[in-house]
Structure 1
Amino acid sequence: MDASVKKDGGSSHSFILLIVVLTALLLVSICLTMTFGAVRISPSDIYHVLIYHLFGRAASGAEELLQSSIAKIIWEIRLPRVLLGIIAGAGLSVCGTVMQSTVQNPLAEPYILGISSGASLGATFAVFMGTHLVFMGNVSSISVLSFLGALGATAGVLMMASIGGTMTSGKLILSGTVINALCSSFSNFIISMAGDGTGMLSIKFWTMGSLTRAKWNNLFWPFLVVLCCCIFFISQYRNLNTMLLGDEAASTLGVNLTFYRKLYMLAAALLTGIIVSNCGVIGFVGLMVPHISRALVGADHRRLLPVAILLGGIFLTWADAFARIVIPGGELAIGIVTSMIGAPFFAYILVKRHYHFGS
């Protein structure tokens, strides 16, 4: 028994140390990634600007810097973009972790319910149908309609998976495939009928993901939804752990699978929908990061979810930094970067580490 207590204590200390290291790495990443872009900025300039805006104190000799365009780039462009990347990375990672446990499928990701295709359909409708309205002062019709499209697609999947009795993980995946194909076909139909070259480029860049729309006035709702959903899912770690045992075992242990699947899917759809409406479709984050997190701390969601939140933020922050510098004078879509970086690393985790889902 003493050996078991020592093992648990050592494991807890290792987990706390990992959280501290990841948190420190995230803070360092925030500062370092803001130096990259079309305008190279030194870490010392970033330090002076952040200290001034956060604490209202200006270092001696930094007055000229604080009045320059560099200070505006740091505070009004780079920092909101980095923060949106952290929010999106954390949210997508949590959604991927929950989806994989809910449907008991290692290939599940935030877009498995057709959320991405539903959001793309809404955005396509907004771009090509001329619904260039502005809601609540600063929210564009593209964001609103893509969010509504994501929720509509999820509702359609849940309704289809519920037909004929009990909702199962297999029916959810198949229903998501159907809704994904249906929404994608409608999006392509609208694009084909519109024949708008500028609109095609706009929707193409949107479907590949971008953090360029990040501003201080559109960070509040994504942050609030991601924070609330992360807290909620962490509090549900017992049910998520039980779901990994399979439907029969979970039902035997008293888990109402139909209720909790609907609840978790709706929460994940809300979270993914608001991320997609602000950032576009950023693939692979919700598929790769949960597996890396499991390789680090195991399948216990009490530890898995906090690690996935931090790793997702770190990963997407550096992916966006790479997207800003890989093309001189231009910018690569962040969805391309996440796939380029994530696919080889994911293959390494699966092949070299002999990783097994749920173990």
Structure 2
Amino acid sequence: MNMEKGSNVRQKQAFYGFAMFFLLCAIAMTAVYSVSIGQVSIPFQQSMQIVLHTITNGHLGSLDQVESDSYTNIIMQVRMPRVVFALLIGMGLSLCGVVMQAIVQNPLADPYILGISSGGSLGATFAILVGFGSGTVLSQFGVAFGAFAGAMATSILVLVLSSIGGKVTSIKLVLSGVVIGALCSSLSSLIIFFANDAEGIKSVTFWTMGSLASSSWSKVPIMAIIVLAGCFLFLFQHRVLNTMLLGDESAITLGINLSVFRKLYMIIAALITGTMVAYSGMIGFVGLIIPHICRGLFGSDHKHLMPASLLLGGLFLMWADVLSRVLVENVELPIGILTSVIGSPLFIYMIVKKGYNFGG
């Protein structure tokens, strides 16, 4: 019996290791393919040579067979920032999805469950249709600042509301998020109703659908620092996240105060989500469906679940971005529409699939 159990453990470890290696290779190949497509089509082999030559400072890859000098600028200055953005945002949404599902002990939780999306939408709507006033410091940051400020303010308000009357619990967090989210959505609708700005309303609509069109190298450092720092932190918090799935009573016997960790994790997740919302708008279903897929493949242990979700989330959003650019000729579809169209059937399938359990 012990030998059979040990064999099963080794098989699972081997499968997990192979899956991680496959995801890393798939991300690398998808990145090269993604920078090859667009209004200017660049052969895959030449794109690979350019990427290798640039990232290794000329030690690998050759530019001798590249047909045009402009290919390098197109790939490295225009398309590569978008690929990096898709990877980082996909990782960030999946990370926050895993954390939020553990915090509230609810498989339906996603990065936006605590009203973060509604707060970001309110901030962005205010910035687009009302503005901060010309010549002010805030006006220089525009929609990104408005969305981030709205998301963070909403998160803090939810945290304060859920803390009233005692310690923070998963039920109080969800209920507070629903109430504050509904309030922010109503205020956004009110601003849109009274706004006399057709172009602004169009911008708000497009922003709420999500887009990576505004990505650039100047925005990558902030996104990379916040998302990667969050990933690094939570990769070492798998024991606490596992304990959250067991509930508060079990945590007390283990000497862990989940209320403190819930507050801390929520603030960090809100910071990451607020940053992503500020730069890309609302991109749904990534933080909801990716943790479910990884949990079904690798189990609910966050030691394995977290790295798998990060890689699969990044890969998923990279391909969603590719599809948003190639499905309709000369038209870029909002990426949030595609993630919802792809994610909804997958989630429905996982709901009706027998034997799937959130906790194991």
Q: TM-score range by the shorter chain?
A: over 0.9
> Is the 2:286–2:339 Cα contact (8 Å) retained in structure 1?
yes
Instruction: Give 1:10's aligned residue.
Output: 11
Q: Deviations over 1:149-173 (max 9, x none)?
A: 1110000101111111122111111
Instruction: Give 1:302's aligned residue.
Output: 303
Residue 223 (str. 1) matches residue 221 (str. 2): no
- Post-superposition offset of 1:125: 1.3
Question: What TM-score results when the alignment is normalised by the length of structure 1?
Answer: 0.94
* Secondary structure, aligned partner of 2:330: coil
Q: CA RMSD in A?
A: 2.1
Q: Deviations over 1:208-257 (max 9, x none)?
A: 10001110110011111111111111111101101111222222322212
- Post-superposition offset of 1:133: 6.8
> Is the 1:110–1:272 Cα contact (8 Å) retained in structure 2?
yes
Instruction: Give 1:184's aligned residue.
Output: 185
Once residues 316 and 219 of structure 2 are traced to their aligned partners in structure 1, the CA distance between those partners, rounded to angstroms, is 22
Q: Deviations over 1:178-214 (max 9, x none)?
A: 1101111111111222221100111111111000111
* Secondary structure, aligned partner of 1:34: helix
Once residues 277 and 136 of structure 2 are traced to their aligned partners in structure 1, the CA distance between those partners, rounded to angstroms, is 17
Once residues 64 and 83 of structure 2 are traced to their aligned partners in structure 1, the CA distance between those partners, rounded to angstroms, is 27
Residue 311 (str. 1) matches residue 312 (str. 2): yes
- Post-superposition offset of 1:348: 2.0
Instruction: Give 1:238's aligned residue.
Output: 239
Instruction: Give 1:169's aligned residue.
Output: 170
Instruction: Give 1:110's aligned residue.
Output: 111
- Post-superposition offset of 1:39: 2.9
Kindly tell me: are residues 60 and 313 of structure 1, through their superposed partners in 2, closer, same or farther at Cα, counting changes over 3 Å? closer
Instruction: Give 1:348's aligned residue.
Output: 349
Residue 61 (str. 1) matches residue 46 (str. 2): no
Where in structure 2 are the equivalents of 1:1-359 lying within 5 Å? 1-57=2-58, 59=62, 61-62=64-65, 65=68, 67-68=69-70, 70-131=71-132, 140-352=141-353, 354-359=355-360
Kindly tell me: are residues 40 and 184 of structure 1, through their superposed partners in 2, closer, same or farther at Cα, counting changes over 3 Å? same
- Post-superposition offset of 1:148: 1.2
* Secondary structure, aligned partner of 1:355: coil
* Secondary structure, aligned partner of 1:332: coil
Question: What TM-score results when the alignment is normalised by the length of structure 2?
Answer: 0.94
> Is the 1:38–1:324 Cα contact (8 Å) retained in structure 2?
no
Q: Give unmatched runs, 5+ long, in structure 2.
A: none
> Is the 2:99–2:241 Cα contact (8 Å) retained in structure 1?
yes
- Post-superposition offset of 1:13: 2.5
Kindly tell me: are residues 91 and 44 of structure 1, through their superposed partners in 2, closer, same or farther at Cα, counting changes over 3 Å? same
- Post-superposition offset of 1:63: 6.1
Stretch of structure 1 that moved more, 42-51 or 235-244: 42-51
Q: Give unmatched runs, 5+ long, in structure 1.
A: none
Once residues 334 and 208 of structure 1 are traced to their aligned partners in structure 2, the CA distance between those partners, rounded to angstroms, is 7
Stretch of structure 1 that moved more, 93-102 or 182-191: 182-191
What is the letter of the counterpart of residue 199 of structure 1? Answer: G
Kindly tell me: are residues 248 and 217 of structure 1, through their superposed partners in 2, closer, same or farther at Cα, counting changes over 3 Å? same
> Is the 2:210–2:283 Cα contact (8 Å) retained in structure 1?
yes
Kindly tell me: are residues 134 and 354 of structure 1, through their superposed partners in 2, closer, same or farther at Cα, counting changes over 3 Å? farther
Q: Deviations over 1:259-313 (max 9, x none)?
A: 0110110010011011111111100000000000101100000000000000000
Once residues 133 and 16 of structure 2 are traced to their aligned partners in structure 1, the CA distance between those partners, rounded to angstroms, is 48
> Is the 1:135–1:141 Cα contact (8 Å) retained in structure 2?
no
Once residues 135 and 295 of structure 1 are traced to their aligned partners in structure 2, the CA distance between those partners, rounded to angstroms, is 50
